[in-house]
Amino acid sequence: MRVCYPSQSPPAVTSPAAVGPRAYRRPLDPYRAARGLVLAALGTACAALASAQSVAAEPNADARLVITGSRLPMTQELLAADVVVIDRADIEASTADSVADLLRREAGVQLSRNGGPGQSSGALLRGAAAVNTIVLVDGVRIGSATLGFAQLDGLSLAQVERIEVLRGPASSLYGADAVGGVVQVFTRQAPQRPGLEAELAAGGLGSREASLTVGGRTGPWTLSASAGQERSRGVSALRPGDRFGSHHPDADGFVLETAQARVGLVPAPGHRVGLTLMRSRLDAQYDGSDYLPPTYAADNSGDFRNRLATDVAALDWQGLLRPGLTVSARASHSVDDLSTGGQVLYRYKTVREQQSLQVNHRLGSTLDASVALERLDESAQASGFTPDPQRRNVAAVLALAGRNGVWSWQADLRRDDPSQMGAVTTGRAGLTRMMAGGWRLRALGGSTFRAPSFNDLYYPGYGVATLSPERGRSLEAGLDWRGEAASASLTVYRNRVSGLIGYEADATLCPADPAYAYGCARNIARATLQGASLSGQRQIGALGLKARLEFVDAKDDATGQRLSRRAAHQSSWSADWTQSGWTWGAHVVHLGARPDGGGMLAAETTADLSAQWKLNRHWALQAKVLNVTDRDVQPARDYQGLGRQAWLVLRHAGNF
């Protein structure tokens, strides 16, 4: 739950004490790395990849609009921020088996995950904790206000049109918690012509997937609907001999059911009204223990399950009042409802009501301005909380973006006024310069904050209502290059975070109440998160090559120890050969050693193989083998991932 500590999901041991924030605390191990050599190697690799392609592209070669990097829709070439876009073609070509797995392959995101697919998982961006990552679905924030983060295992790849990952400071755009960055999921859109898309898949461990999407545009209306189901019997989430004796030899499977509907209406030229409804139901088994009276002895024989229900409803309007002046408004309602446990169930339900109004104004040909007002009401029903906690935040945002010749710049300023603490102001400013030969320089700096979760503030015997928010200051610089058939990007960053909320064991530093005899939540630490990201891709005839390397130095400033579950390096590599309707692919992901639970998890490398046959313009058949070397994967201490698994996928896409 906190940057200093590793576990970002409900613990496997479900005693009343373990469910509380104390159970998340883990010791840390020292970190050793030669950062200067790493950065030198990155610079050399970037230059080498660039020189491999001699034909330079025009400066506007990357004209894809990006939403998440700024409140103003901008092409990626104008953004100073580090944004990764994963589109539908990338999703279908990837061998990833979940949203979480896709993010670590395509965006260099590390994961906090209690087992394989279906188990609790959160995204660690740039060495920050899962509580420092905001997850949005079509602009609506999801996740638990008690645990403090969004669980990615409740999202299905079948419903995803694209994902934008903003890596770096974003509190000035999206408010509290965007210290590491933002993951925004955009769901499937209606095609231009009425049509149908379907997918059927079967794999090892009794795994099956099915999804159906229909939709189209007719007159002023756009309509789309989708539904899907995923299931697997899985493997035991815990390994035998775990620290708490919670391992049970049965397989821990899951069932994920999703549904979504979108309706759009253009009542007049330049105006659009949209309604989005989304539902997700996850039922995942896991290993745990109950501690029941009269003996309170550990009992791992129960059927332990996480039942996560996510519902989102959003109504939005966008209108062009006159050339260069656009107004948009949105009202949304989201629910994140987790029931977890065996014989005793614990519930964590978050309800969010969000409203926003935004005005975008183009001031001439070189300057865009955006002004926004937002309101967020959060409430929770959670085991142990009396009364149910709630809070409100009202925010105002000013965003500017300009361009002049080879220069472009952006600046954001946001004022948040949360009800449970004082007002907070955050800002961000960035500069980009286009250069000859397809090169681009960028720099960005910003401030961030994380609001304490409801657990941090109100959990009985742990939470302290007077906690201050965590604060961060980040600087980054990037160098990009784009040619006719190749591209490369290097980003280096440094983020200082203060006031980290952690477990304080000294009861004398806690409120004078017998309930805090064993400690409390407190602002106790500082951390430095620094590192570098290097990516490149090259097309050589029918062969496509792609690589992404991440180097992370995330340390507790007081101890000098590396933060738990943060590997010093992670990389992904892929090669795809496309010819005569066939695509052959090989994908490799390497994750370095990382501390967790007082020990060190070994480095691991997994390789996937895939082959896809395009039968005709409507049908495609894909076969893939995940973890082809059957590598023993340990996503967290005492937990285990899946071994080798084969899949067969049939896809159809066509118009009525």
Does any domain span residue 641? yes
pLDDT at 53 over 60: no
Instruction: Give the pLDDT confidence score for residue 622 in this predicted structure.
Output: 96
Question: Where does the pLDDT of residue 64 fall: very low under 50, low under 70, confident under 90, or very high at 90 and above?
Answer: low
Q: What is the pLDDT of residues 476-504, one digit of tens each?
A: 999 999 999 999 999 999 999 999 998 89
Q: How far apart are CA 495 and CA 552, in angstroms?
A: 11
Three-state SS across 74-92? EEHHHCCCEEEEECHHHHH
Backbone angles phi, psi at 283, to 5 degrees: -125, 105
pLDDT average, residue stretch 162-186: 93
Q: What is the distance, to the nearest Å, from the Cα of residue 569 to the centroid of all Cα atoms in its chain?
A: 18
Peptide bond connecting 294 to the previous residue in cis, omega within 30 degrees of 0: yes
Residue 95 included in any domain: yes
How many domains, the chain?
1
In terms of pLDDT, which residue wins out, 2 or 514? 514
Please indicate, yes or no, if residue 90 is contained in any of the structural domains: yes
Q: Cα separation of 503 and 494, whole Å? A: 25
Radius of gyration over every alpha carbon of the chain, rounded to an integer in angstroms: 24
pLDDT digits (tens, 9 = 90+) for 264-289: 999 999 999 999 999 999 999 999 99
Sign of torsion, CA 574 43 124 415?
A: negative
For residue 433, the domain's CATH number is: 2.40.170.20
Is 117 a residue whose pLDDT tops 90? no
pLDDT category of residue 34 using cuts at 50, 70 and 90: very low
In a domain, 7, yes or no: no
Strands 325-341 and 305-322: antiparallel
DSSP reduced 3-state for 353:
strand
**Is 3 within the bounds of a domain?**
no
pLDDT tens sequence across 322-375: 999 999 999 999 999 999 999 999 999 999 999 999 999 999 889 999 999 999
Q: What is the DSSP-derived secondary structure letter of residue 558? A: T
Sign of the CA dihedral running 32, 35, 36, 38: positive
Asked, for residue 1, whether it belongs to a domain, the answer is: no
Distance of alpha carbon 244 from alpha carbon 287, whole angstroms: 10
Domain region containing 198? 16-655
Q: pLDDT, tens digit, for every residue of 593-633?
A: 999 988 999 999 999 999 999 999 999 999 999 999 999 99
Domain presence at residue 4:
no
Domain presence at residue 8: no
